[in-house]
Amino acid sequence: MTGFDRRTLFRAGGAAAAATTVPVATASTAAAATGTASPGRRDRSGLTTRNPLVEQRADPFITRPVDGMYYLTGSVPEYDRLVVRGASTLDGLASARERTIWRRPSSGRMGGYIWAPELHRIDGRWYVYFAAGDADEPFRIRTYVLESPNADPRADGWLPPRRMVTAWDTFTLDATTFTHRGKRYFLWAQSEPGIATNSNLYIAEMASPLELATEPVRIAVPTASWEIQGFRVNEGPAVLIRNGRVFVTFSASATDARYCMGLLTADENANLLDARSWTKTGPVFVTNDQTRQFGPGHNSFTVAEDGRTDVLVYHARDYRDIDGDPLFDPNRHTRVQELGWNEDGTPSFGVPVGKGGPISRLSPLDAPHLVVRHFEYRLRVDGNVRELADSQFRFGPGHFGAGTVSLASVNFPDRYVRVADVLRVDPYEDTDAYGRSTSFVREPGLADRDAVSLRLVTDRDMYLTHESGRLVVARRPGRGRAERERATFRIR
């Protein structure tokens, strides 16, 4: 393989190598090994790897599938209307026709900024909760709700908006709703008189999808340093009930690169209307310079097409520097990625991932509860990896020949798995030595053909192998099952 051939696989120091998972290398698949990922490639769960999923849609909300359809809504850059698009797959939302279901009036109430809609199916009817200002006071934001009896939320027939009345007539936004233990709750952000913050988080029980049954309970106030950068903000709550707990993510600080996410947690048996039931941690999801994703936040949750994989939906920008007020920068794009889970049952967010193909985690067949990860750039095999992104990789075209593959780190996209004195993730170098040491042949698993084994390009008898928590290079194992399992990895 010549240096010229290898360079054609890369742009700007190797960035193009974050591409699609490559099939088992044979002469017939050599072309696939050097191709780039199609934007809508999906991983094993059916989760799209398109990033961003939809451009210029901030505050994204994607429903769980309803009668086989996903629906997406979010803030448009003009802040003047409510939109919905639908598709049978998450990836299909990228190109789905968008329908405007409501447009602000030219004057008076709700004639100002229209923000952060959420779409919910409740008792056979659709509801959109959204925030709106007035024409003469666009930042006089209050929460409203639209209702539709139709089966398809894109259809005409939405009833006129109604105001959601809370305890105070103050700045109110980012409402969501959920059920737990037979009760429906309303969760939102509001400015409370007497508290010097921009917005706090509140919860109340609902009498119906249109009104509250109880007084609000304040469950979060921005006080930590990561919550008060630029503005004192807790907003954008989203609920996920798993593993005996009720989790509420929320967003904090100004809407530029300082925007980030925190987490509230309550036991599933707790009184959710008691502020003492909730514990705050964070930040859990922040700007990442390496992946070039800035200001991730205002998220929602859905599931992938397998019906099991939890999906984090959020917005972020591709650049840090913004001219003027970040609220009026249009390029907060809708993104989706898999949500991980720690062994203790808490969510693991990882980093906002950049562009590229499917994300993989590798588990040795002899220790399926462990994963390959890098720590201080060295590779090893660990369990309970709470730094999710340290164990995430992307298969891409190899750096030294058709039919070979490379493994790029997700949170350090310019670094690839390299065989040196130890196995490491090292920055890309435009040398033959680097190309040889970072290229592998991907084969059907030596112990399970549905898994994979990774053979060195430089020696047909040497494989990546798990050895007592270490990842090493070892000679091709014999016929013994245990030895072959150590050189076989399940992709998950």
Residue 48 inside a domain? The answer is no
What is the Cα–Cα distance from 331 to 257, expressed in whole angstroms? 12
For the sheet with 58-62, list strands across it: 58-62, 70-75, 81-87, 98-103
The confidence band for 319, taking pLDDT boundaries of 50, 70 and 90, is very high
Tell me the two tokens of residue 304: 């992938």
- In a shared domain, residues 233 and 108: yes
Residue 455 inside a domain? The answer is yes
Tell which phi-psi region holds residue 375, choosing left (phi > 0), alpha (psi between -120 and 50) or beta. Answer: beta
User: How high is the pLDDT of residue 33?
Assistant: 34
User: How high is the pLDDT of residue 194?
Assistant: 96
Residue 458 inside a domain? The answer is yes
CB atoms closer than 10 angstroms to residue 271: 11
CA–CA distance from 244 to each of 240, 241, 247, 267, 277 (Å)? Answer: 11, 7, 10, 6, 13
What's the number of domains the chain is made of? 2
* Nearest-5° Cα angle at 242, 221 to 186: 45
Residue 32 inside a domain? The answer is yes
Q: Which residue has the higher pLDDT, 219 or 357?
A: 219
- In a shared domain, residues 331 and 365: no
User: How high is the pLDDT of residue 392?
Assistant: 97
User: Is the pLDDT assigned to residue 87 strictly greater than 90?
Assistant: yes
Choose the catalytic residue: 59, 174, 366, 483.
Answer: 59
- In a shared domain, residues 23 and 80: no
Q: Which residue has the higher pLDDT, 23 or 125?
A: 125
The confidence band for 45, taking pLDDT boundaries of 50, 70 and 90, is confident
Quick one: average pLDDT of 54-75? 98
The confidence band for 39, taking pLDDT boundaries of 50, 70 and 90, is low
**Sign of the C-alpha dihedral, residues 350, 69, 246, 253?**
positive
Choose the catalytic residue: 43, 91, 235, 485.
Answer: 235
Please indicate whether residue 235 is annotated as part of the active site. yes
- Please write the tens of the pLDDT for every residue from 242-255: 999 999 999 999 99
Least confident piece of the model among 3-7, 67-71, 163-167, 190-194: 3-7
Contact indicator for 330, 79 with CB cutoff of 8 Å: no
Percent of the chain with pLDDT over 90: 89
What is the Cα–Cα distance from 16 to 357, expressed in whole angstroms? 11
- In a shared domain, residues 331 and 372: no
Please indicate whether residue 267 is annotated as part of the active site. no
- The verdict on whether omega for the bond into residue 52 sits within 30 degrees of 0, i.e. cis, is yes
Contact indicator for 111, 134 with CB cutoff of 8 Å: yes
- In a shared domain, residues 153 and 258: yes
- 109-134: b (≥16 Cβ within 10 Å) or e: bbbbbbbbbbbbeeeeebbbbbbbbb
- In a shared domain, residues 295 and 213: yes
User: Is the pLDDT assigned to residue 3 strictly greater than 50?
Assistant: no
Residue 46 inside a domain? The answer is no
- In a shared domain, residues 334 and 363: no
Contact indicator for 351, 338 with CB cutoff of 8 Å: no
Cα–chain center distance at 126: 25
With residues binned 3-state (H G I as helix, E B as strand, rest as coil), the percentages for the chain, rounded to 5, are 10, 45, 50
Q: End of a domain among 348, 371, 387?
A: 348
Average pLDDT for the chain? 92
- In a shared domain, residues 190 and 331: yes
Quick one: average pLDDT of 260-278? 98
- In a shared domain, residues 240 and 155: yes
CATH number of the domain residue 385 falls in: 2.80.10.50
- Please write the tens of the pLDDT for every residue from 99-148: 999 999 999 999 999 999 999 999 999 999 999 999 999 999 999 999 99
User: How high is the pLDDT of residue 18?
Assistant: 33
Q: Which of 57, 87, 89 is nearest to 73 (CA)?
A: 57
Residue 254 inside a domain? The answer is yes
Residue 432 inside a domain? The answer is yes
Percent of the chain with pLDDT over 70: 92
Q: Which of 84, 78, 85, 145 is nearest to 112 (CA)?
A: 78
- In a shared domain, residues 201 and 308: yes
The confidence band for 9, taking pLDDT boundaries of 50, 70 and 90, is very low
User: Is the pLDDT assigned to residue 43 strictly greater than 90?
Assistant: no
**Sign of the C-alpha dihedral, residues 300, 305, 306, 307?**
positive
Query: What is the helix (H) or strand (E) element at residue 486, kind and residue range?
Result: helix 481-486
What is the Cα–Cα distance from 218 to 203, expressed in whole angstroms? 7
Q: Which residue has the higher pLDDT, 35 or 447?
A: 447
User: Is the pLDDT assigned to residue 231 strictly greater than 70?
Assistant: yes
Quick one: average pLDDT of 369-375? 97
- In a shared domain, residues 374 and 342: no
The confidence band for 38, taking pLDDT boundaries of 50, 70 and 90, is low
Containing structural domain, residue 425: 3-37+358-491
What is the Cα–Cα distance from 222 to 234, expressed in whole angstroms? 6
Q: What are the beta bridge partners of residue 145?
A: 129, 162
CATH number of the domain residue 108 falls in: 2.115.10.20
CB atoms closer than 10 angstroms to residue 33: 26
Residue 45 inside a domain? The answer is no
* pTM for this entry: 0.91
Q: Parallel, antiparallel, or unpaired: how do β-strands 489-491 and 423-427 relate?
A: unpaired
Q: Which residues, in sequence order, are CB contacts of 202 under 8 Å at separation 6+?
A: 166, 187, 188, 189, 190, 192, 216, 217, 218, 219
What is the Cα–Cα distance from 367 to 107, expressed in whole angstroms? 64
User: Is the pLDDT assigned to residue 6 strictly greater than 70?
Assistant: no
3-state secondary structure of 431: coil
User: How high is the pLDDT of residue 400?
Assistant: 86
- In a shared domain, residues 284 and 364: no
Q: End of a domain among 348, 376, 402?
A: 348
Contact indicator for 166, 201 with CB cutoff of 8 Å: no
Q: End of a domain among 328, 348, 368?
A: 348
Quick one: average pLDDT of 61-69? 97
User: How high is the pLDDT of residue 36?
Assistant: 38
